[in-house]
Structure 1
Amino acid sequence: MKKFSILCLAFIYSGSMLFAQTAEKTIKVIVENPWKTAKTDEPVVIDIHSLNTGFTVKSAVVKEGNNEIPSQLDDLNFDLRADELAFVTNLPAQSKKVFTLTLSSAKINKTYPARVFAEMLFRTAKSNEYAHGTAVYAPGDSYTYTILQHHGIAFESELVAYRIYFNEKQTTDLYGKFNKGLEIEESMFYPTDEQLQKGFGDDVILVRGSCGAGTLRGWDGSQATDIQPVAFRGQRLIASGPVRTIADAEVKGWEYQGKELNMINRYTLYAGHRDAQVDVLFDQPLDKETFCTGVQNISYSATMYSDHEGLVASWGTDWPVGDTIKYKKETVGLATYIPKKYIRKEAKDKENFLYTVSAPQEKCFRYYTMFTSRKETFGFPDSQTWFSYAQEWKKSLEQPCKITIEK
């Protein structure tokens, strides 16, 4: 009997050691660029669930040959489980690269150089003191505009910065830079005089009642409308780098065109990019609801370009804020691209150049938006150059790389 007890204990100990062992899975990821133009900082996104690892993935290492590539795991639904892995890569024309991805059940704290940044800051009772947050929700009739520093989530790449207003407009406001780099953590979207003298950028557009750059709005048949009334309104900061930022603007119970919609507008900004990917997500398939998006008619007198097939852009000059003494006028270029299958018609109102869009029987659709400021030392000197770039940008988006996974 004594021997049996010892033997049982031995098996139990051995089993616990086996259970504690780290689980790993290695896969090969092949990224191909079949097109005649090179790809710079091309996003590569892997759905973790599709890999069927059999364990909870808590860390990952991506390598190209022997070189480790910065990457990040993102939990998209706040269940503390990784949903996607993302990294970026450069691909010459008509080329391919092979990456090795090692997934592990062990949590490893890795630090890569940050090429993007995002933050949600709550105002506190003390001046110039803020609390970092990841989510905020409020009843739809609440005044939410001043709850957060910079009036909503702010996110940036080395090239540009955005913020999403936490109110019924949900507009993207824009921060232009003189030089490439990350500034928002230090300037908090409002650079001091000292920071401005050092060459920091700042707010470059007065969005008024417009859609700014690519904000989704309602459509009443003649003009864009705000996202109201709603039962609840919220924002969530899902990812802040080092490879991409992800920020949600969410509403529940939006009374719109005879329906009650639960909608998320998800903005993803990748390292090396000035364009934001916008995913519009619903919890139920859409019917015939029609929305709109596009670009602001800056100062009501912007130069406009449209290819009439999903791309619309503008270029104009205006005061970015009400203070015309401290600040000077800014010249800004905007562009939005919507895939043709979602387009219903071109439209225009006082504030915007638009496309109306719908996605019957679908629960999501995706489009893209971007901007430039003429203050950029790395940017575009005039509208013609900007519009030409926008056309090449659309072409690049329509020619994605092919990703193959070998498990």
Structure 2
Amino acid sequence: MRLIVVIIIVFINNITFAQNNTDVSLFFKKDSTNYLNEVSSKEGDLFNVLGHHGSAIENEWLGFRIYFNKVAAIDVYSKTKEGLEIRKAQWYPSVEQQKNGWGADYYKVGNTVGLGGIRLWDGEKVVPLNPITKRTARVVKEGTISYMEMLSEGIPYKNTNVDILVRVTVFTGIRKAKVEAFALTSEPVQFVTGINHHPGHKINSESNYISTWGLHPEDVAVDKIEIGSAILFNPNDFVQKISEESQYLLVSKPTKLLESWIVSANAKEKKLNTFEKFLAYIEEESKL
């Protein structure tokens, strides 16, 4: 009997492991049915020729993309129901699809870091991941995860040139996404990350997370709905928090690796559909 139970448990675990409720998307607009694993540019700007302006990934609750240009921000695709949509919607679902319960691009990034985007700090100011000698985007789906990477090479930084790799990973069964920034250099760098916000947003800035809730001035979606977003981090990794008109920035200690977690929700969801519910969720996640 014990052997039978063990076999059943192993079988169930194998089924669970085989389920990957994540996906990736990377393609050129001129050939939107040909999905790619990697694209590169010596100019570092494929914003206008790539579908959804860069690489994209998703899990059941959220989609994320990294803009393939000097902004290199992380943007959010919000969903109203659980499921995978990016490959069918290609980030911009039709009016009919949105009215039938699909998600949409409700989040507005502008020139900010977006949600958890990466830049550098030279001791006095923010340094964008630009100019570069080459920029490469890559997407991978494996096991129960998907991730996208952007490698920006040859960035002028403190009298030298540095290569920075940014990776965003989504997980099956976990709403949050992990953001990692790697300095592929001999010397450590200071990273900058953060979260953007808009007028009227409710903002909570705590020692280990920053969260926002409110409307984004986005104009590509059928409706305007309130969006919650948050970045969770280890306060020991940072030396400075900068409050700007449209974003909160976090300046890291000198390092070669920086990690944070990002998450979002919206008012059309079944569970985390209010500021209070979203904040309670963030409070619990920040204790982990």
TM-score, L = length of structure 2: 0.89
Quote how far apart the aligned CAs of 1:160 are. Answer: 0.9
1:91 counterpart residue number: none
Whole-angstrom CA distance in 1 between matches of 2:206 and 2:187: 27
Q: Residue 187 of structure 1 corresponds to which residue in structure 2?
A: 89
Cα deviation for residue 220 of structure 1 reads 5.9
Rate the CA distance shift 1:63–1:186 in 2: closer, same or farther, 3 A.
farther
Determine whether 1:304 maps to 2:207. no
Secondary structure, counterpart of 2:92 in structure 1: coil
Indicate which of 372, 385, 388 corresponds to 2:277: 385
The 8 Å contact of residues 213 and 228 in structure 2, kept in 1 or not, is answered as yes
Report matched runs for 1:110-149 at 5 Å.
Answer: 112-124=18-30, 129-139=32-42, 141-149=43-51
Closer, same or farther: CA 219–132 of 1 in aligned 2, 3 Å: same
**Does 2:221 align with 1:318?**
no
- Whether the 8 Å contact between 1:156 and 1:269 is mirrored in structure 2 is yes
Post-superposition Cα deviations, 1:159-211, rounded to whole Å, max 9, x if no partner, equal: 11111111111111111111111111111111112212321111011111111
Q: How many residues matched?
A: 282
**Is 2:146 the partner of 1:245?**
yes
The one-letter amino acid of 2:73's match is T
Q: CA deviation at 1:117?
A: 1.0
For residue 67 of structure 1, give the secondary structure of its aligned residue in structure 2. helix
In 1, the alpha carbon distance for the partners of 2:125 and 2:210 equals 17
Task: Call closer, same or farther: CA 1:318–1:366 in 2, change over 3 Å.
Answer: closer
- Residues 153/63 of structure 1: CA separation in 2 closer, same or farther (3 Å cut): farther
State the distance in 2 between where 1:301 and 1:218 align: 28
Q: Call closer, same or farther: CA 1:222–1:285 in 2, change over 3 Å.
A: closer
CA distance in 2, matches of 1:234, 1:282: 15
Tell me: CA distance 1:64–1:247, structure 2 relative to 1, closer, same or farther (3 Å). farther
Secondary structure of residue in 2 paired with 1:121: coil
2:4 matched residue in structure 1: none
Percent identity of equivalent pairs: 22
Deviation string 1:10-69 (CA, Å, 9 cap, x unpaired) is: xxxxxxxxxxxxxxxxxxxxxxxxxxxxxxxxxxxxxxxxxxxxxxxxxxxx99434342
Of 48, 65, 74, the residue aligned with 2:10 is 65
Matched, 1:272 2:165: no
Q: Who is 2:233 aligned against?
A: 338
Q: Which residue of 1 aligns with 2:157?
A: 256
Distance 1:199 1:172 in 2: 24
| Distance in 1 (alpha carbons) for counterparts of 2:249 and 2:8 | 42
Query: Where do 1:223-234 residues align within 5 Å?
Result: 224-234=126-136
**Residues of 1 paired with 2:273 and 2:58: CA distance?**
19
Deviations 1:382-403 (A, max 9, x none): 2x3322221211212xxxxxxx
- In structure 1, what is the equivalent of residue 286 of structure 2? 394
SS at match of 1:235: strand
Structure 2 residue 267 is the aligned partner of structure 1 residue 370: no
Q: Distance in 2 between matches of 1:391 and 1:196?
A: 31
Cα distance change on mapping 1:395 and 1:165 into 2, 3 Å: same
Does 1:295 find its partner at 2:195? yes
Contact preservation (8 Å) 2:165, 2:184: no
1:281 to 182, 189, 199: 182
**Equivalent residue of 1:392, what SS?**
helix
Instruction: Please tell me whether residue 328 in structure 1 is matched to residue 223 in structure 2.
Output: yes
Q: Relative to structure 1, is the Cα distance of residues 143 and 294 closer, same or farther in structure 2, using a 3 angstrom cutoff?
A: closer
Deviations 1:52-99 (CA, angstroms, capped at 9, x unpaired): xxxxxxxxxx9943434257xxxxxxxxxxxxxxx5xxxxxxxxxxxx
Quote the offset at 1:246 in angstroms.
1.2
Looking at structure 2, the residues matched to 223 and 63 of structure 1 have their Cα atoms a distance apart, in angstroms, of 58
Q: Report the AA paired with residue 229 of structure 1.
A: P
Q: How do 1:10-159 residues align onto structure 2 when only pairs under 5 Å count?
A: 64-70=9-15, 112-124=18-30, 129-139=32-42, 141-159=43-61
> CA 1:317/1:259 → structure 2, altered by over 3 Å: closer, same or farther?
same
In the TM superposition, residue 232 of structure 1 has moved relative to its aligned partner by 1.0
**Deviation of the 1:276 alpha carbon:** 0.9
User: Residue 208 in 1 paired to residue 110 in 2?
Assistant: yes
CA contact (8 A) 1:222 1:349 kept: no
Provide the aligned C-alpha RMSD in A.
2.3
Structure 1 spans left out of the alignment, 5+ residues: 1-61, 72-86, 88-111, 397-407
What is the letter of the counterpart of residue 340 of structure 1? Answer: P
Equivalents in 2 of 1:282, 1:376: separation in Å?
A: 37
